[in-house]
Amino acid sequence: MSELLSVVFFLASVAIYALKAGRNTWWFVATLVVLGLFVILNITLYASNYFTGDGINDAVLYTLTNSLTGAGVTKYILPAVGLIAILVAVFGLLAWILRRRRHPHHLGYSLLALALALASVDASPAFRQITELVKSQSREGDPDFVTYYKEPNKTIPDPQLNLVYIYGESLERTYFDDQAFPQLAPELGALKNEGLDFSKTMQLPGTDYTIAGMVASQCGIPLFAPFEGNASASMSSFFPQNICLGDILKNSGYENYFMQGANLRFAGKDVFLKSHGFDHLYGAEELKGVVADPAYRNDWGFYDDTVLEQVWKKYEELSKAGKRFSLFALTVDTHHPDGFVSRTCQRKSYAFEGKPNQSFSAVTCSQEHIAALINKIKASPYFKNTVIVVSSDHLAMNNTAYKYLSKQDRENLFFILRGDKPQQDVVAVKRSTMDNGATVLDILGGDNFIGLGRSSISGQSLSTVFLNMKEKVLAWKPDIIRLWNFPTKIDDFTVDQQKKTIAFSGSRFHLPLLLRVADKKIEPLPESEYSAPLRYQLADFAPRDNFLWVDNCYKMARLWAPELALSTDLCVSQGQLGGEQKVQRVDKAIWQGKAAFRDTVISTDRYQRNVDLLKIVDNDIRYKADSFVFNVAGAPEEVKQFTGISRPESWGRWSNAQLGNEVKIEYNAPLPEKFDLVITAKAFGPNANKPIPVRVGDKEQTLTLGNDVSTTTLHFENPSRSNTLVIVPPDPQTTNEGNILGHSPRQLGIGMVDIKVVNVEG
């Protein structure tokens, strides 16, 4: 009903403004903006629903505010382009309709049109969903949370069994219904029927996407995170107060391993696992130097056959070594929208209702690989000391099988095969994925509870205690968010140079980091591959906003500490953009600092100068120096412009043929008639030991570099008084070496540390 009402308000607003309001720039812009917001909200709702099937929920907000590195976006490019085209077309059409009539402006009709536009936004389901998510972050919570949230012991008294835990991406139990989907999962289905099959594993809010399903199964809580300022993305720990399954295993002498084909950084999986007992992580980046065919990949990373083969090798290696271990794996081939079919499975296609269905095909292929791994483990002499767990990470999202799944009673997959004590049973007790970790811990000899999770073998799931567990979980959401221990103030803080972290008020964050500090409120702004550099984010602060910024000295020192303008050390800056700022160099491995913000006189001119300097693009930054120092941004004051050079790194900068086939440095004034050119540099790959032309005007010298840094002096005569130096790398190589994750490969030739022009006239 509200959706229909919002559309009626929208159309009424357009009609009244177009037919009655007349022409007025301010009212036109205001009405167009609000109507445009209605369109954007509904497109956002449509796009979110396309992924989640549940509109704009915690999964959407968490994913967008965390790392998107390694996301398999290829299949979404065309729909995204289509949505953008529709958005542009709708805005253009709205503007045209609103400005068609040329009669005099009428205030009353303009006000009515704007009020109806605002009403359309307020009545829209998208606005209601977003508003509810915001409100859910700040409620008081439910007082009985402490009664039901239980912390397990940190160790298992006498651990005897190793653990293999396989998360099947979106591999819900519904797929195993042989009446609904005949012979879709015969191999894995047969294994499920041999073990303990928990048939009533429901999905709760905050457990409905991969990282959330992992948190639920290991920590016994839904994943609800503080979203303000990308808080969860900036923290170097993940639910730092919680004791999770991985922590208990590590404390009990287990070596914990995790393997997947996708990038570990996506959605912060690496931070979660490292925070809770996992020391050995393998994802797309870590596996590419190990697998037989690094080029055999899908949109997300390595196929399931590749990853599960590595899991088997690791299982065999650890078992032979007599290690106590847990080995977790996550598949990816069944990922929405339609999955991926690997080249080694026996069944590459599955038809439903007479037509091949890609999602079903991916399921029948992936389950075959999981079953093959389990059968190898079962046939090994080590199975008698092993517990195998197979579970879905969450119910399938909007894939090409979704409409068929939705007709069934949907449950998550969770079954256990015990090598020490074979058990065959269907456990039909009502439960949730939060109970998975507690059930595994119980079998391994530990407690029968973790967080809100209870063992389904010897405990009682909270899903049976509460009639509507979904509502109860949402009531506990503020309590769960508080488990992040997110700080609201900063006094003393500690910078750890080795770990690249800053710690204050019991929390630890990754560096570099910018903090907006207000009364009882801290807003962390991290720097990532998908966010603007911190100096651009700082430029958006208000004149009186208190900030604390920890980063390389040269990034802030050119504004407020010129003596450190070439330093790559860490510095801490704090103050207000319109007031006073101070910069301190971090000169110890563990450096103690104090946040001290004072009310100072705010100057509009000082504020604008700081904003302008912060917004200068890297290549336009200039510093005082007698040489071109490549490990900081910008160039010496004597340089007019330069091309063909990549971003600064800790040691210097690479040439990048994607930015120019040659390194060209143009100086403000002509170079001396006679000078020495002192070049400290190295070559990349096959560029080593090849002649590298270096030109000034019509004069050319040859430079030869190895793969290690060396210093060479070239003697130039410059009778034409050219002001341009040109270096031509002979064989640029396309590579991801030293690249930022998510960025395109670079074409590297030479790595420059320092270039100095020394006048030798007279």
Helix/strand/coil (H, E, C) string of 659-691?
CCCCEEEEECCCCCCEEEEEEEEEECHHHCCCC
- Does the structure show a pLDDT above 60 at 432? yes
CB contact at 8 A, 240 and 271: no
Beta bridge partners of 665: 642, 725
Tell whether pTM > 0.75. Answer: no
Pairing of strands 414-418, 162-168: unpaired
- Does the structure show a pLDDT above 80 at 270? yes
- pLDDT of res. 51: 64
Most confident listed range (26-30, 104-108, 629-633):
629-633
Report the distance separating Cα 360 and Cα 370, nearest Å.
Answer: 15
The neighbour count for residue 317, using CB atoms within 10 Å, is 11
pLDDT in tens, 692-702: 999 999 999 99
Pairing of strands 746-759, 653-656: antiparallel
- pLDDT of res. 608: 96
Specify the higher pLDDT residue, 230 or 3: 3
- What's the sign of the alpha-carbon dihedral 220, 222, 224, 230? positive
Report the distance separating Cα 709 and Cα 642, nearest Å.
Answer: 22
Would you call the peptide bond into 512 cis, given omega within 30 degrees of 0 as the criterion? yes
Residue whose C-alpha is closest to residue 306's, from 291, 318, 317: 291
The neighbour count for residue 183, using CB atoms within 10 Å, is 10
Contact residues for 182 (Cβ-Cβ < 8 A; gap 6+): none
Domain layout of the chain by residue ranges: 2-138, 150-482, 492-616, 620-759
At 515, which amino acid appears?
L
Report the distance separating Cα 147 and Cα 449, nearest Å.
Answer: 13
Report the distance separating Cα 435 and Cα 460, nearest Å.
Answer: 9
- Does the structure show a pLDDT above 70 at 674? yes
At 516, which amino acid appears?
R
pLDDT in tens, 725-753: 999 999 999 987 777 655 678 999 999 99
Report the distance separating Cα 581 and Cα 466, nearest Å.
Answer: 54
Report the distance separating Cα 757 and Cα 677, nearest Å.
Answer: 5
CB contact at 8 A, 632 and 566: yes
Average pLDDT over residues 316-330: 96
Beta bridge partners of 710: 681
Would you call the peptide bond into 730 cis, given omega within 30 degrees of 0 as the criterion? no
Where is 712: in which H helix or E strand?
strand 710-717
Report the distance separating Cα 738 and Cα 736, nearest Å.
Answer: 6
User: How would you list the strands of the sheet with 501-504, edge to edge?
Assistant: 507-510, 501-504, 492-496, 590-594
* Residue 350 tokens, joined: 């599955």
Phi, psi of 355 (to 5 degrees): -125, 140
- Domain 620-759 fold is Jelly Rolls (2.60.120)
| Tokens 């507690």, located at residue | 438
Report the distance separating Cα 464 and Cα 176, nearest Å.
Answer: 24
Pairing of strands 674-683, 746-759: antiparallel
Tell me if residue 717 falls in helix, strand or coil: strand
| Tokens 């971090």, located at residue | 586
Greatest Cα-to-Cα distance within the chain, rounded to the nearest angstrom: 95
Banded pLDDT at 165 (limits 50, 70, 90): very high
Report the distance separating Cα 166 and Cα 389, nearest Å.
Answer: 6
- Does the structure show a pLDDT above 60 at 232? no
Banded pLDDT at 137 (limits 50, 70, 90): low
- Does the structure show a pLDDT above 90 at 127? no
- pLDDT of res. 472: 94
- pLDDT of res. 58: 65
| Tokens 């030293």, located at residue | 738
Look up the CATH architecture of domain 150-482: 3-Layer(aba) Sandwich (3.40)
DSSP string, 596-625: --------HHHHHHHHHHHTS-GGG-EE--
pLDDT in tens, 566-615: 999 999 999 999 999 999 999 999 999 999 888 888 999 999 999 999 99
pLDDT in tens, 522-565: 888 877 655 678 999 999 999 999 999 999 999 999 899 999 99
Q: Could you give the count of Cα atoms lying within 13 Å of 335 in the half-sphere of its Cβ?
A: 24
Report the distance separating Cα 247 and Cα 272, nearest Å.
Answer: 11
- Does the structure show a pLDDT above 80 at 684? yes
Report the distance separating Cα 14 and Cα 31, nearest Å.
Answer: 9
Contact residues for 40 (Cβ-Cβ < 8 A; gap 6+): 87
Judged by average pLDDT, the poorest of 19-28, 302-311, 503-512, 728-737 is 19-28
Judged by average pLDDT, the poorest of 219-223, 235-239, 300-304, 626-630 is 235-239
Banded pLDDT at 439 (limits 50, 70, 90): very high
Report the distance separating Cα 743 and Cα 747, nearest Å.
Answer: 12
- pLDDT of res. 507: 83
Report the distance separating Cα 473 and Cα 456, nearest Å.
Answer: 19
